[in-house]
Every structure is written in C-alpha cells, then in structure tokens.
Structure 1
Amino acid sequence: MIISIWNIRGFNKPIKHSAVLNFHRENKVDILGVLETRVKSNKARKVLRTSFNRYSAYCNYNKHNNGRIWLLWNPMTTKVDILEEHAQVVQCNVKHLVTGMSYYFSVVYGSNNDGIRKALWSSMTQDCGPDDLTGSGCDFTWFNKHEAATRVYSKLDSILVNSNWAQQFTQTTAHFLSPGISDHSPAMLSFHDNDMPKRSFKFLNAWLDHPDFSKIVVENWKGNIQGNPMFRLMSKLRNVKHGLRKLHTDHFANINQRVRDKREELAQCFQCLKSSATSAVLIEQEQTLSK
C-alpha cells in the first residue's frame, strides 16, 4: 500500500495532469494528496472529469476557493471517508480494500500566514504528538529553480506519524523523489510492495499522433465477421488490438523505457546536486531534463 503527497505548484496545465497520472500508475499509489493546485472551483470539475475520471476525488473548496488540497484515490483498492476539513488540512479515515488495513490520514498544506500556520501545528501537536518519519531520497524537498548564483534548497515537506502509528505499522518507510515538473519533491509512504494486477493491453495516447493510426483502426474494424452481435464486437476489438500492437512494435517499442531512463537521469542529477548545489553544469542539465 502506497500513500503519497505532492505539492504540484499549480495544476491547471495538462502536462502536469499527465505527470501526476504517470506518477500515480508507476508507483502504484493508492491515495495521493495534491497540494497548491491553484485550480479555481469552476474548473476543477472539468479537470477531474477529463484527466482523472478513473479516480475518486475530494477537494477542499468548501474551505478555500483555490482548492489548496485535493485527494485522489484508486476506488478499486481504497475507501476514503472524509472526517473533517479546513483551509489547511483535510482529515480522513482510509481503508485498504485488499488487505483490510485502516488508518487515519491528514493532508496538510500550511498557510503562508505565520500565525494561522502556527495555530494549526499547535493544535495537531496537542492532539496526536506527531514525529518526523525518517526518510530516504532527496535531503532537500524544495528548490527555487534559479541559476547557480541564486539557487536555494530547503526541506519544506515531511511525513509525520504518531506513536500509535509507529507501533502498529512498524515497516512503513518514507521516500522523497526528485521534483520533476514541480519545485517540490513528491513524498511517498510505503507499507509494503503493492502488487496490483497488471493489464495485458494498454492504450498509449502517443498512438493517436501516428499518421497510420486511423487507417489501422478502420481496416481492422471493418472485417466481415459472422456470429452473434457480442461475438462480432469482441472479434473486432481483438483485431484492432492486434493491429495496434503491431503499430507499437514497429514505431513505439521501448518508449516507456526511454521515458524511465530520462527520469532516472533527472534523479541522478538531483543526487549530484546534493553535493554540488551551485554547479552551473548540473543546474543546466537539470533544467534541460525537466522540460
């Protein structure tokens, strides 16, 4: 089971929707808190409907007009009951439908106002006494994306657990990945390997841009197949699938591996920046790989 939090620093652009979807799928995330969306309430429904229609979602627009906190979860593996919401925090009860494990989960995005933020942390500290869960990955979870002379790093993101959590979930670990399209690192809390079933066929949106895509679909669909309507439908779909698999083999083979290689290069770049934070060469490399 995987929990994740990511301050995305603006969530209006489709490229960021795709990045979050890829992150969600590749890491088999069960529930994801997306922070600092900057999406107005009148646009949120469209974003969720077009990009995240396979996920259940909750946004705290009732408490803040910018929807500072979004929750996205996989309804096939996770059940979420919202217990309380504020402008800075959404508290919920989460049940993992595969293992039956349940826990309380709070997603916090503190206010820029010192007094308001301190009041929140004071209240949470009194209620549950959280401690910072030791993590791995990026030492600094935020950077300003400036050039070498003005580059700044800081640890702004944390995963906090209380003593009850530490006693009940002894194998949980925190990991902070490279920021990618954001200026904040996504934070992941893992219970154990989440072995979700894999699909035998996946549709790649990149196929739509290939000049032969429509021709392949039409030619494989229009075959004269005998039998009842359901048999004809399934046969046509199977023929189209075979045609698209050949298209993939001929023109898109290993594209996912190439994307993973680039992301690994970016992650290695951030590792190098940990010891050479103002290196102009590394910063130029990071900016090129982040595009």
Structure 2
Amino acid sequence: MIIKALFWIVRSVRTQHSFHRIQMLHKYHNFAIIALMEPFQEARNIHKYKRRLGMQYANYNINGKIWVFIQDHIQVGVLSDTEQQLTLQLNFQNSSESLITTIVYAKCDTQERLTLWNEIYSLSHNMNLPWIVGDRGLPVTPNEVEDIAFCVNSCDLLDINFKGSPFTWWNGKADNYAPLLLSFGGQQPHIRKPFKFLKFWVEEADFKDVVKRSWVAQENSDIFITIKQKMKNTKYALACWSKERFGDIFKQLIIREKIVRLKEEFFEENPTISNRIVLQSAQAELKRYLHFEEDEREEKETFAFKNHQRRWAMGRRE
C-alpha cells in the first residue's frame, strides 16, 4: 500500500495563495496525511480548514504551531504532544498496517532544541512500527547539522532520499519553505551483511541457549551438508540475537557517548535526583559498550599479530 503525505512549514494558512496550493496538491495527490507547521491561525479555526480539505480528523499540538489533517480510513491515537512535536499512531482500516509519525516544529534556540532531541530519543525506545519523523525546518549551521545527525543516528533513523531542489526555501525567499511531499509503503530491498562472531557474546547468559536452539538441521547422508546447514542456522540466529541485544557496536558507542554528553548538560541545568539517576544510567550503558569495543579491538589486534607472524614465518622458509 502506497501512502502519500504532505509536510509543510506553511507560514500562515490565512493567505489565499498558500491554502489554495494545499488544496490543489491534495486534489492531485489525495494525501492520507497533511501536516502544517506555523499555520499562524487560531487553533479553534482548524475544523474550518478540515472541512475545506475534506478530511475526517484534525488536531494540533499544545501551542498550536503544528496542525495535522488525516483521512477517514485511518484511526488515530495521540502518543505524545509537546511544544516542538506531535506524535501520532496511525492504523489503516483497509489493511493491517500501522505506522507512527512524529511531526516536528523545532524551536530556534539550540538549548530549547535539546528538549526536542531528548523527546524523540525517548520515543525511539521500543519502537516496533514504521516511524516517520519530519519536517525539521531548521537553519543549517555546523553545530545544528551535528545535532540533527546525532538525533538521527541515536534513534536509528534514516535520512531518506528525495527528488527536487536540495534547498528548503520556495518562491525565491529564504523565509518561505517549500512543501515536502512524501510517498512511502511497499517492500524495501533486503541488504545482507557478512556474519562476524564477536568475542563478548559468550559473556551473555543466554548465548549458549541461542546456539543450542539453532544448532539443528534435517539429517542428510552427507554429514558435511548437515554441518553446513547447522552453521547457517546458527549464524542467522546469532546475528538476529546480536542485532536485537547490541545493535551496531561502534555506532552505538558513538551514540552513547553523545547521550552521556546531553544528559550531563541536562543535569547541569537541572541537578535533580531523577536527572542524576538518568545520567548514571547513561554512563553505565556507555561503560558497557566501551567494554564491548575493547574486546573487539583486542580481537582485531590478535588476528593482525598472528597474521603478521604467519607472513614472517613463510618469509623465513623461503
């Protein structure tokens, strides 16, 4: 199922030209979701625009900076509502598919945006549905690019490809943003990564159980075929288990270092007991991944040393 959505920092729905453009785009694309930031209109007037768009559902966030309109074949649940984001769960009645969308309108102040990054990071925990996050609408400076990249990486999000101009402004003006048309759905290509055994796996209590459960295969007259199938099953089981338990070790290490930095900043601004506990938890998780990284590095160094010895010995024999 292909779903189409419109995200736009519209900067006032009161102007006839802007709203007429929304209507024309909706008529052409039949959007399931329309999200507007900076409507510059009283929130109580949202239902008037809902009727004009022919949408069934309309809602706005707590400060009225985000408006959202959704078609009638979608059931909507509000998961989070703050000044910088509105997160909804969408269940499509015509299929068994569901997704979560976080509509973002970030504040200009860097410190205030730390709250937004923390909210998005909290939402990413136990995220088991497809998740769409946008539209940032942030001015691009080196520090802000780093903040955005950190948020994307720490939440395991992907910056999707696009068609059209790489610039966000419209009509030749930097304060007028171009609408973002989003189309998603269908199957994604499967990318297979090479298997790699990690030494610290054996320290986990359930490692042996994973191996025992997966070391099975239909018996074959050729024992090598049987062993090959068992190894294949075990590699697949360990890869799935490791991905669920640890994720990408080196990527997670970078993420957790930045999380600790953010939690330290939060604690410095608001040194409460609860923030201290959160900081200590983040530091403990970082220490855990540092241990994983150290084991991985030692394993690589040992392999390189043995390989060097082997080349030296072969050279002596020659």
Higher relative contact order (CA 8 A, sep 6+): 1
TM-score after normalising by structure 2 = 0.43
Query: Which has the greater radius of gyration?
Result: 2
TM-score after normalising by structure 1 = 0.47
**Which structure is higher in helix share?**
2
